């Protein structure tokens, strides 16, 4: 199952997943999947409907609480960047391409790439050749600019985390580890705000946020087949 303190993900039988850390023979849970828009209650209820999917080791995997915003996800960051580019293009060329689906798709691809790049660099250029009617588009996004543009979204991401703690009636001091899941959790600002919520607690970084769910599903499959052992 991994060394003590090794982060794992647990699939509850839906595409909504919880993550946890096995430590000192017990598990503490914290959920933060920025790319997931399913209802938290739906996932939570899976425990009752499919208890076999919630067995961990030799006991029941106890989900303390779940919370989420179905209207919030990593895609919102992309769309905010796209809207910025559309407004910049309009300002420079006096043309509004907000209703052109082909142009918006091209911009979204570029903006998503830029968003990912800004997780490990401080500045990135967005270039779209012949974006509309032969006009090229060019702009530069710094990490600060990206964060300021999306600060309200980042703040909203923290609200379900706080609610989850409140619903679980769990003091922050009792949380063993915090594991961020989903590609957008690589964003430095998301990590920074998460640490603020947990009063500076270091985030668990020993598993790829894109692989946590797959790894957890593999662990769960092993548990259900009675082949999972401490290693």
Instruction: Residue 14: count other Cβ atoms within 10 Å of its Cβ.
Output: 17
Identify the structural domains of the chain with CATH numbers, from first to last: 7-62+210-230 (no CATH), 74-147 (3.90.640.10), 152-204 (3.30.420.40)
The confidence score (pLDDT) of residue 150 equals: 97
pLDDT tens, the chain, 231 aa long: 333 333 344 444 334 444 444 445 554 444 444 444 333 444 444 444 444 444 344 344 566 777 777 778 899 999 999 999 999 999 999 999 999 999 999 999 999 999 999 999 999 999 999 999 999 999 999 999 999 999 999 999 999 899 988 988 888 888 888 888 778 889 999 999 999 999 988 887 776 777 766 666 666 556 555 544 544
Contact of 128 with 114, CB cutoff 8 Å: no
Residue-wise burial string across 152-181, b where 16 or more C-beta atoms lie within 10 A, e elsewhere: ebbeebeebbebbbeebebeeeebbbbbbb
Q: What is the DSSP letter of 23?
A: E
Structural tokens at position 216: 């957890």
Q: Is the pTM of this model over 0.85?
A: no
The pLDDT assigned to 93 comes to 95
| Pairwise CA distance, residues 44 & 112, whole Å | 31
- At 212, list the tokens: 């946590």
Tokens 């009792």 sit on residue: 174
| Per-residue model confidence (pLDDT) at position 66 | 76
């Amino acid at each position: 199952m991994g060394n003590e303190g090794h982060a794992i993900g647990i699939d509850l039988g839906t595409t909504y997943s919880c993550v946890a850390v096995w430590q000192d023979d017990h598990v503490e849970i914290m959920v933060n999947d920025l790319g997931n828009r399913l209802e938290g209650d739906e996932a939570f209820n899976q425990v009752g409907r499919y208890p076999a999917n919630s067995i961990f080791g030799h006991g029941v995997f106890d989900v303390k609480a779940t919370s989420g915003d179905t209207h919030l996800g990593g895609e919102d960051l992309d769309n905010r960047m796209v809207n910025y580019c559309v407004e910049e293009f309009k300002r420079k060329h006096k043309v509004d391409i907000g209703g052109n689906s082909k142009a918006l798709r091209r911009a979204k691809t570029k903006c998503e790439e830029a968003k990912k790049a800004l997780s490990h660099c401080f500045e990135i250029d967005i270039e779209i050749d012949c974006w509309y009617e032969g006009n090229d588009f060019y702009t530069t996004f710094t990490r600060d600019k990206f964060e300021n543009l999306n600060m309200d979204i980042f703040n909203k991401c923290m609200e379900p985390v706080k609610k989850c703690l409140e619903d679980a009636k769990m003091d922050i001091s009792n949380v063993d580890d915090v594991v961020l899941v989903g590609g957008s959790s690589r964003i430095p600002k998301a990590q920074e705000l998460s640490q603020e919520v947990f009063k500076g607690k270091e985030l668990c970084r020993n598993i790829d946020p894109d692989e946590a769910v797959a790894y957890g599903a593999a662990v769960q499959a092993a548990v259900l087949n009675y082949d999972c052992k401490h290693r």
